[in-house]
Amino acid sequence: MCGRYIMVQKAEVIEKRFEAQVPAGFSFEPNYNIGPGQWAPVVVGHQPRVLQLFRFGLSPSWAKKDMMLINARAEGDHNRDDSALYTGARGIIEKPAFRRPIRSQRCLIPADAFIEGTITEKLSKPFVVYLRNKVRPFAMAGIWEVWKNPVSGAEVHGFAIVTTAGNELMRKIPHHRMPVLLNPGDEAVWLNPEAPLYKITRLLKPFDEDLMNAYPVDPAIKSPKASGAGLIKPVGQPLVAETEVVVSRHMRLQGMGNVKQKFSDHMPEERMGE
């Protein structure tokens, strides 16, 4: 599963990357530990030019109580071995909670990185998983729904991350699942409510592991109340050696949070050799 991720870009950076404007009243602070129940930026298919804040946690419209589903398996009840080689049915299209959203209520979930733990120790041994060459933000594939509280009548716009079998990098953690990450060229298809279902399901596959890396961080991030840049300070080497990876104790990360603010002990900055 994927229950935590990082989004610390300024709103202006997200606007430019996803060509979606920030509406009046939009308020989002950089967050190094986005978890279930928190509000985060999304771009939804029916309003692709507007950045919105939805809750991380989807409840089906028909649910009598708040279910807070944070992940939706692309394979549904299939591929229980979580094989990255699986090419069979995408059972998400049959699940009662997801069959309508996957067809017409899809969204992009902007992220700088996501957090994943090992299969056995979970977030007691966490890793920051990111895209190489400072590709951030990127888009995780999401689905969304509106749930109405039967008591208060309040409507909650919630989203879930669509997941697939882990690629080779994820298995080095080791972890068996990962979010579906979208190539920029596929984002418009994912957002299009009129896109044929076969074009959507063929996007539900593991991302290229050669474009990714991960490094271990302190288990303090396990607490949903933990916050701050110190949470993503490396406590070990990246899983895959890169041409040159420099960890600077005091550096300014381009595009990560407020560019006027200096962060310490952040995500490794990749510098290609001369």
Residue 126 corresponds to which tokens in the numbers above? 């966490």
Task: Judge whether 244 counts as a catalytic residue.
Answer: no
> Which residues, other chains included, contact 222 with Cβ-Cβ below 8 Å and sequence gap of 6+?
117, 122, 123, 124, 126
Task: Judge whether 168 counts as a catalytic residue.
Answer: no
Query: How many C-beta atoms lie closer than 10 Å to residue 130's C-beta?
Result: 23
Distance in angstroms (rounded) separating the CA atoms of residues 137 and 41: 12
**How many angstroms separate the Cα of 240 from the Cα of each of 77, 122, 213, 246, 270?**
32, 20, 6, 14, 12
Distance in angstroms (rounded) separating the CA atoms of residues 173 and 179: 15
Catalytic residue (one of 75, 116, 145, 187): 116
- Residue 164 exposed, middle or buried by CB count within 10 Å (0-12, 13-18, 19+): buried
Residue in 48, 64, 146 with CA at minimum distance from that of residue 101: 146
Catalytic residue (one of 2, 145, 187, 209): 2
Q: Which residue has the tokens 């209520």?
A: 105
Residue in 188, 210, 220 with CA at minimum distance from that of residue 4: 220
**Amino acid identity at 216:** P
* Residue numbers annotated as active site: 2, 116
